[in-house]
Amino acid sequence: MAEYRSELKKLAAKVMAVMDENLGLPEGYIKAAFNGGDGLDKAFFGTKVSHYPPCPHPELVNGLRAHTDAGGVILLFQDDEVGGLQILKDGQWIDVQPLPNSIVINTGDQIEVLSNGRYKSVWHRVLPSPNGNRRSLASFYNPSMEAIIAPAPKLVNKANQEVEKGYPKFVFGDYMSIYAEQKFLPKEPRFQAVRAMRGT
C-alpha cells in the first residue's frame, strides 16, 4: 500500500504541474501553495476505500449526496463493472462510465480558488445500484491545514479584485471547519463564510 500511495502522490503532483503550465503559473506553484511554501512537505495525502452494497430499491435512498470536494486533486479508481458515479454538467447529471485500468481525476474547491475559477470543483454524487457491490478507491492531495489559499495573483484582474466578486484568501483549516457543516450545500456560501471569518 505504501508504494501505491507513493506513486499516486507523484501522479497528483504531475497533475498539478500540468495545471500550473495551463494557467501560466510557475512550475510547482499549486504544490507549493498546498504545502505552505517552496520546499515544504506539509500537504495531506490520504486514501479512502468506499463500498456501496447492492440496493434492491435504489429510488428510495441516497448513495452519496451531491457535493464538491473540499480539497485539491482527487484520483479515483472506480469499480470496473458497477457504475453509479455522476457529475453535474450544464445542469444535467451525467454518468461517469467505469473504464478498466483508468483513473478519474477530479478537482476540489481549493483548485477552483487558486485558479481563480478557471478550474471548477465538480459537483458529483453516487447513485445506489441494484446490480451488485460497488467499490471505489479515492486518493486526495489536499492542502495542509495551515496553508493559506488565495487566487494566484497572476490570474486576478482588477474587475474581480473587488471583495464581493473575487475568491477569498483564507487558511485551509478555517475552510474545512465550514465545509464540515456545509458539505452538501452550494459552495459559494462557504466562500462567503470563510471570507467573513478573515475579513477579506
CATH of the domain at 148: 2.60.120.330
Residue at 38: amino acid letter:
D
C-alpha 120/C-alpha 126 separation (Å) is 19
The per-residue pLDDT of the chain, averaged, comes to 89
Q: Give the span between the Cα atoms of 3 and 9, in whole angstroms.
A: 10
CA distance 86 to 126: 6
> What is the domain range of residue 143?
2-198
Q: What's the rounded Cα separation, in Å, for the pair 186 and 165? A: 16
**pLDDT of 94 higher than 90:** yes
| CB-CB contact of 136 with 41 (8 Å) | no
pLDDT (tens digit per residue) in 45-88: 999 988 888 888 777 677 788 999 999 999 999 887 778 899 99
Say whether pLDDT at 160 is over 90. Answer: no
Span 143-164, average pLDDT = 81
Dump pLDDT digits (tens) for 2-31.
Answer: 898 899 999 999 999 999 999 999 999 999
Residue ranges with strand state E in 9-118? 44-52, 64-67, 73-77, 85-89, 92-95, 104-107
Exposure class string for 145-179: b at 16+ Cβ within 10 A, else e:
eebebbbbeebeeeeeeeeeebbbebbbebbeebb
Res. 89: pLDDT tops 80:
yes
Query: Interhelix angle for 172-182 vs 187-198, to 10°?
Result: 140
- 41 by Cβ neighbours in 10 Å (0-12 / 13-18 / 19+) ranks as exposed
User: Domain total for the chain?
Assistant: 1
Report whether pLDDT(112) > 70. yes
